[in-house]
Chains A and B, each alone.
Chain A
């Protein structure tokens, strides 16, 4: 790997001290010089020159909350895509399922991804009995687009080993009849363990292919670091294999999923920073789109919430785990000094988490804990203030606005709460270093898409949801580079073009700072460098 000097375009370092420079030099996978053309040339006398030709050079993007391996499992073939984008109604979903069942091999596991109570206007909750009429013999599962729930037929329940005698794991949901027999729908952690049965039935080769494709998508979007935010111990083999094969795997910050307070979390450290254990993730609540989040003000009461989501009037949801159970997990992993990232959507959940954290920190103070709240859909203004004073940082799932903005405002929470849904602007004004994420597989990986979403907040039907929560492009750029590096505690090695940091770079066709905000997502990612090597484009 020879030294390379980049010049001839706009270079945005994301380093506040020297925001723009003429040239950047890299060598041995690290950034070795930043400054004027002559300074960098002096520092890298033998370097190969790369002419940016007017293009814009930035540090590689960091998605602070996604699931690369899990995305490969969840979305790639033979999973059948039934998201509303191409299968617009529940009737069309059922028609597609029928056609797939007709083409199925005996015993083949059939899985469908993307059922959506908000976007499939005639959505019904398929019962186990109904699914048995569609597929009497094949194990069949339908996963919701928010990933949190799964509908199974009888063969599916049998294959996953869930029956009347199976206890419901704490933190999960198994809907049952009076005799305790599962009636079709399961949700939360039990969903993700049940799905492993499907993934395993398709073999390892399929997963290797899909994982490679998923890695490629991140790299082509200029994302050089991404978290695996639902890491399970057996994932290590897959990541190890990808690295051994020399695949251009983005750097992986793993956050292991905790569902009990006695899980072993391996301290994975890599001198090259390609894969490390960054912390522990707990789901304090679920998804606003299936109703299992905990809110102080009830959901709206209308046809969508009653019939498609099956919520009762006045529904305020609840947390995933009993409070004492959750607190025990929190105390355990904080005591083990892990960085904590807590999935919180409802404001009542955020109250619970901040209350508990407040007590724990007062008992056992920890100066630089970087305690993270994830997604933060309905976080209130007073909670943002409180989070900042506690040193808590938020990673926002801004693509909720682009993908589900209209039903969020019209059907779930009303205009007042929608105006501050994913309150990125308020958090930034309160002085918080925020990050943004696509939560792939829930939405497709694109850091530029995140920037456009946070700066425009334009929903699918063209409306702006919460104009007061928009942020400027410069802040949005920081939230997918240096500030997300801060959130994964790697700001000393990643996130800006600074001497000594890893040479992860992205070259864009246009400068996002001078591109109209509604064109940012369409800016071409012309090249991606990972650890100094060109892994995409030219």
Chain B
């Protein structure tokens, strides 16, 4: 690949996670698919929050990225519905992130066998029990990996309940909430015939996330199919909420990158 490598930049001050000056709670939304997974991007966010910039991307080239050290020593919390603790721990160890700089809440391992039977019939108490596992530190960044799984796993749970009794409670515990949604179901467009309850609730939840997010990071495979030197595209767009922090006077920089993931490293290129 002869193209020039690019640094990941989300904001006009060249930062990935800017220092938040006001009291507002902000949200980033990652939409990913099975063939364009978000793990490298989650790693980049954890690394940025821990070290100030996503140094492992592009093989430690990150020269232009604004290093933001305000968040140093502030915990990043990952709450996952899809992976166990070891998955994230091994990823972060490879990035040489100190284990006291992140906290992993594993919701996946015991959810179906233990937690759901324990709170049989009381879905809101089940959600509250998960929320209670997260510490209250408004300076932390919380990453929610595929919370939409709860819509399928918890009987009768609606998108509104998931937002009001789970997402919003977690959101109050941090300044920045990063949600990853898997949107494989939408890749062929919305099929209006024969839509069932689960699909409508899922569509409602994902659309609500789009309205609440300030930044949308869309990961998808190449439209033309497989390529040896490109894994997929990352598109950064503005969400439904303006990033209107008057003190820092920055804005979201819309951009589209190509990326290549090989073994443990990911490189970004301009598309």
A and B interact physically: no
A interface list, Cβ under 8 A from B: none
A-binding residues in B (CB < 8 A):
none
